[in-house]
Amino acid sequence: MRFIWLRASLFYASILAMCAFGFPAEAQWERATPIDSINGINCFAANGGRVFAGGGSNYIPFNVLFQSDDSGETFFVVYRNIYVSAITASGNNVYVAHEFYTPNFDISSSAVLYSSNAGTTWTDRGSSLPATGINSILMSKESVFVATDSGLFFSPDSGVSWSNKSPEGGSQQIPSIAVSGSIIYATSLDTTDLLYCSTNQGSDWTFLGNDLEILGSCGSTIFAESSRGTVRSIDSGVTWTSANVGLLENDSTNIGKFASIGNYVIIGPSGTPSEGMVYLSSNFGESWIPLGTIHRLYSLGAVGPYALAGSDVVGTYRQLFSNASAKVEQPTPLPSFYISPNPTSGMVTISGSITRATVTNVLGETILQIANPNASETTLDLTNEPAGTYFVRVESANGTTMQKIVKE
C-alpha cells in the first residue's frame, strides 16, 4: 500500500508539472476549473445547465464525481473515492455507474449511485451487479440499463433490483448501448460486433447486423462505427449509409466517442486515452466540421450551446458550437421548401422539391415517413395523431433540415 501511495504522489507531482507548461489544445477550447483540476474525466451527463463529470484513475485519491451548475464553466466535488465509469441524467434522476478496485488494480465490485433530487443526496444501488467493467448506463422511460463486460443488466425500479437482459442471453461483453425513442440498441461483442435492438425494454431482441458498434442517437438518427467507417441509420437500423463526409481519412474508421444534444452530434477518436480530431455535425451526420484536438482525450459531452471534452490528465474543456460554425467558409444553402400551416389541425404541406420527409414525436419515434415524392408539394397527414409537438426532418438537394411543428 505504501508503494501505491508513493506512485500516486509521484503521479500527482508529474501532472502539476505538466499543467504548469500546458497541453496542446485547439485555441477555441476553453478549460473549465474543477476543484481537483488534475482529475481524469471519463464521462459526462447533462440536463439543462447542470453537468455531471466522472473522474477516475488507478490512483484512488483522484477518483471523484464532479458537478457543474453553469454549463461546465466551473465544477465542484459531490462524491469522492469512486471510479466513475458512466453517468446518465434525466430530470432530477441521476445514475452513476462506478467500480471499486483492489490494491492490485483488479475490479473488486461494481455498483450504481442514484439521486432523485439532481445530485443533492445519493443512494447506493446496483449491489447485485457483477464485479466487472461497466461500459455505459442509460435510462429508457422509467427503466435503467447498464452495459458491462459480463452482460446487459436492466432495472425497472431505480436500481433496487437487476436482471440480465443480454441480447444473446448470456454473459457476453456489451461494449455500448443507445436509446432512440422507445427503442434500445445494444452491441454484443463476439468475434465481431453484433448489433441488436429491442422495442420492449430488452424482453426480446432483433438482430440488425454485424460489424456495427452502436455509438449513440440524435433524434431518430442512430450512429454506429464499422470497418467501413462511421455509418448512420434513419430507419431504426434497417439500412445504413456512410457518414464520413468531412472526416479525415485516418479518422473515418477510428471513431469511438459520441455525444449529442438537439440537432448537434459530436464524435471523437476511439481508445482511452486517444489523440485525434473532434468533429461536430449540425445536420445529423451528413457532414462534419473539425472542432480541434484535445490532448489525451477520454470522453465527450454536450450541454446547452457547448461541446464538452474530458481528458485523463487535464480535466475538462468546452467550446461553443457557434465557434465551429464560424470555421465553415461556405454558407449553408437556405432550404428550398416551405412547411405550412404551422400550427396545424392535421394536414401539413411541404412546398418544394424534396427527397424524403420524416415526422417524429418528442420521444424520437418515427410516426410517418414519405420517400422520394414525385411532386412539387408533399402532404403529411397528422390527423390521427394526438395534439402536441412534432419534428419534420426534410431531406433535399440542399441538405437536411429539421423543423418543429405543433398540432393543435
Cell output for 266 = 459530436
**Residue 363, domain member (yes or no):** yes
**Residue 332, domain member (yes or no):** no
**Residue 217, domain member (yes or no):** yes
**Residue 141, domain member (yes or no):** yes
pTM for this prediction: 0.73
Cell output for 350 = 411541404
Q: Give the three-state DSSP class for 21.
A: helix
User: Is residue 141 located within the same domain as residue 225?
Assistant: yes
Residue 374 sits in a domain whose CATH number is: 2.60.40.3080
pLDDT tops 60 at residue 6: no
Provide the percentage of residues in the chain whose pLDDT is more than 90: 32
For the residues 353-366, what does the mean pLDDT come to?
A: 78
User: Is residue 312 located within the same domain as residue 357?
Assistant: no
- At 131-175, the pLDDT tens digits run 778 899 999 877 899 999 999 999 998 888 889 999 988 888 999
pLDDT tops 70 at residue 283: yes
User: Is residue 152 located within the same domain as residue 218?
Assistant: yes
Q: Give the three-state DSSP class for 351.
A: strand
Task: Let me know: does 311 contact 42? Beta carbons within 8 Å.
Answer: no
- Domain count within the chain: 2
User: Is residue 205 located within the same domain as residue 347?
Assistant: no
Residue-level pLDDT at 49: 85
Query: Residues 6 or more apart from 312 whose CB is under 8 A from it?
Result: 40, 41, 42, 57, 272, 273, 296, 298
User: Is residue 152 located within the same domain as residue 286?
Assistant: yes
Residue-level pLDDT at 126: 64
Sheet containing 277-281: order of strands: 255-261, 264-269, 277-281, 289-293
Residue-level pLDDT at 343: 82
For residue 400, give its domain range: 338-407
User: Is residue 313 located within the same domain as residue 343?
Assistant: no
Q: Please, what's the b/e burial string for 156-187 (b: 16 or more CB within 10 A of its CB; e: otherwise)?
A: eebbeebeebbbbeeebbbbbbbbbbebbbbb
- At 32-68, the pLDDT tens digits run 865 554 557 889 999 888 999 987 655 444 578 889 9
User: Is residue 51 located within the same domain as residue 127?
Assistant: yes
Task: Let me know: does 306 contact 294? Beta carbons within 8 Å.
Answer: no
Q: What is the widest separation between alpha-carbon atoms in the chain? A: 76
User: Is residue 297 located within the same domain as residue 349?
Assistant: no
Residue-level pLDDT at 327: 52
User: Is residue 198 located within the same domain as residue 293?
Assistant: yes
Average pLDDT along the chain: 80
Q: Where are the alpha helices (DSSP H) in 108-213?
A: none
What is d(CA 291, CA 21) in angstroms, rounded to the nearest whole number? 23
**Residue 15, domain member (yes or no):** no
Query: Residues 6 or more apart from 241 whose CB is under 8 A from it?
Result: 231, 232, 233
Q: Please, what's the b/e burial string for 317-352 (b: 16 or more CB within 10 A of its CB; e: otherwise)?
A: bbbebebbeeeeeeeeeebebebeeeebeeebebee
For the residues 373-401, what does the mean pLDDT come to?
A: 80
Residue 108 sits in a domain whose CATH number is: 2.130.10.10
Compute the C-alpha angle 315/316/320, nearest 5°. 160
Q: How confident is the model at residue 16 (pLDDT cuts 50, 70, 90)?
A: very low
Among 326, 352, 368, the domain boundary falls at 326
- At 327-355, the pLDDT tens digits run 544 434 445 567 778 788 899 888 777 88
User: Is residue 308 located within the same domain as residue 347?
Assistant: no
Residue-level pLDDT at 105: 62
Half-sphere exposure of 97 (CA within 13 A, CB side): 29
**Residue 16, domain member (yes or no):** no
User: Is residue 197 located within the same domain as residue 260?
Assistant: yes
User: Is residue 164 located within the same domain as residue 276?
Assistant: yes
For the residues 1-7, what does the mean pLDDT come to?
A: 35
